[in-house]
Structure 1
Amino acid sequence: MMRSTLPVLILAVAVTATHATTFEPALGVTLPDEVAGLSFAGKKEFPQKELGVNYAWQRNGPTRGSVFIYTAGAKAIPDGTEAPIVRRHFDQVIGEVQQMATIGRARSVTLSGSSEQVTHYSGCGPQFIWRGYEIVLDEGSLTSYTYVTGLKNNFVKLRISHLKGDAQAAKDTERFVQEIRKVLGGCK
């Protein structure tokens, strides 16, 4: 009798483990196993404390959404997008994106639009400074977006990338930002 229930118990535990959520102590939020149709793909803690942690969600295509939570060594990071330290950090992040071609990590990087934009979502959740860009890699071309805000004395950076021209992925990008901002804001 015990032998026949053991495989069922193991299967139940394995299925439960794949649908777990992850608590992020720096922000006091629980991150879901799915965001905008993207499945949780993992968590990476960086060895340098100031680089923080990265959570990723992904679907085939490939479409990948990531949330980075870190301080970058800053001692005081105000909430929102207006503080000079948040604006300077966003400029630094976009500068690093542009350098990808220079250091050989991409064939080219082309920023979209003439400058950054700020989200103006209604309801609960943080707003972000953001910028889109095209990255040409050996494997193909990606459309990517980077969003940055200050939240609970951390920088929060969202990065969403998908194959250039994938109309569904473009819709998923907006859904990802909308859904994850509600999670980050502790919205009900």
Structure 2
Amino acid sequence: MHRYLFPLALFCTVTCATAGVYESAIGVTFPDKVAGLTFSDRKEFPKKELGVNIRYQRSGPVIASIYIYNAGLSQIPNGVGSPIVHKHFAQIIDEVKQLETTGQAKSVNLGTGGGRISSYKGCGPQFMWRAYEMQVSESTLTSYSYLTAINNNFVKLRISHLRGDEQGKREADQFVEEIRKVLGNCKE
């Protein structure tokens, strides 16, 4: 019996271990699962100022991407209060508008009002954010863009789910809540 325990323990260690993705630019390790979404891949962009993309997803689809980059800037104040962050968020929303003109999406609807600032309780950064809808292929998606700044880097979240998917909406909200704790190195 004892001769089977070591191989079993080794199997569980290898297959049950929680992998993480460490991002040295902001000193954060992202877990393999967040709010029911599973780590999918990490992409490093060829231009250093474009940084990296860390992607999570589940079938249904719910897709969440985390972008960490400095956009070529050397000084980016932490949080969401600086004019630099507000200006960059406006650029992000302009890029969303351009998805329709470039043919990447149809019927982009930003609704009314501008970006908002979150008011989450507890540990972790706040975000500027905005919701919008767009048609991609045959699906209409509800998407959200979030932005904050940490350690001279922008941290942008983009989350999408099928329009009307209440579980997808809950997972998107939970994803933001959990990622802000990861970003804040919270000890909860």
C-alpha deviation, 1:113, in angstroms: 3.3
Unaligned 5+ residue runs, structure 2? none
Opposite residue 171 of structure 1, the aligned amino acid is: R
Regions of 4+ moved over 6 Å? 7-10
Opposite residue 176 of structure 1, the aligned amino acid is: F
Q: Provide the C-alpha distance between the structure 1 equivalents of 2:171 and 2:134, rounded to a whole number of angstroms.
A: 18
Opposite residue 32 of structure 1, the aligned amino acid is: P
- Residues 1:58 and 2:57 are matched in the alignment: yes
Identity rate of aligned residues, in percent? 52
C-alpha deviation, 1:78, in angstroms: 0.2
C-alpha deviation, 1:9, in angstroms: 8.8
Q: CA-to-partner distance for each residue in 1:90-112, whole Å, 9 max, x for gaps? A: 00010000000011111121013
SS at match of 1:97: helix
Alignment correspondent of 1:128: 127
Alignment correspondent of 1:161: 160
Alignment correspondent of 2:110: 111
C-alpha deviation, 1:13, in angstroms: 6.8
Q: Provide the C-alpha distance between the structure 2 equivalents of 1:8 and 1:45, rounded to a whole number of angstroms.
A: 36
C-alpha deviation, 1:145, in angstroms: 0.0
C-alpha deviation, 1:12, in angstroms: 5.1
C-alpha deviation, 1:56, in angstroms: 1.0
Alignment correspondent of 2:26: 27
Q: CA-to-partner distance for each residue in 1:6-26, whole Å, 9 max, x for gaps? A: x97985575256x31111111
Alignment correspondent of 1:146: 145
Q: TM-score, normalised by structure 1?
A: 0.91
Alignment correspondent of 1:100: 99
C-alpha deviation, 1:65, in angstroms: 1.0
SS at match of 2:78: coil
Q: Provide the C-alpha distance between the structure 1 equivalents of 2:42 and 2:146, rounded to a whole number of angstroms.
A: 19
C-alpha deviation, 1:123, in angstroms: 1.1
Alignment correspondent of 1:15: 15
Unaligned 5+ residue runs, structure 1? none
Q: TM-score, normalised by structure 2?
A: 0.91
Q: Provide the C-alpha distance between the structure 2 equivalents of 1:11 and 1:181, rounded to a whole number of angstroms.
A: 32
Opposite residue 114 of structure 1, the aligned amino acid is: G
Asked if structure 2 preserves the Cα contact closer than 8 Å seen for 1:112 and 1:131, the reply is no
Opposite residue 29 of structure 2, the aligned amino acid is: T
Q: Provide the C-alpha distance between the structure 2 equivalents of 1:150 and 1:136, rounded to a whole number of angstroms.
A: 29
| C-alpha RMSD of the superposition | 1.9
Q: Provide the C-alpha distance between the structure 2 equivalents of 1:55 and 1:14, rounded to a whole number of angstroms.
A: 22
Q: Provide the C-alpha distance between the structure 2 equivalents of 1:92 and 1:58, rounded to a whole number of angstroms.
A: 25
Q: Provide the C-alpha distance between the structure 2 equivalents of 1:138 and 1:39, rounded to a whole number of angstroms.
A: 23
Alignment correspondent of 2:176: 177
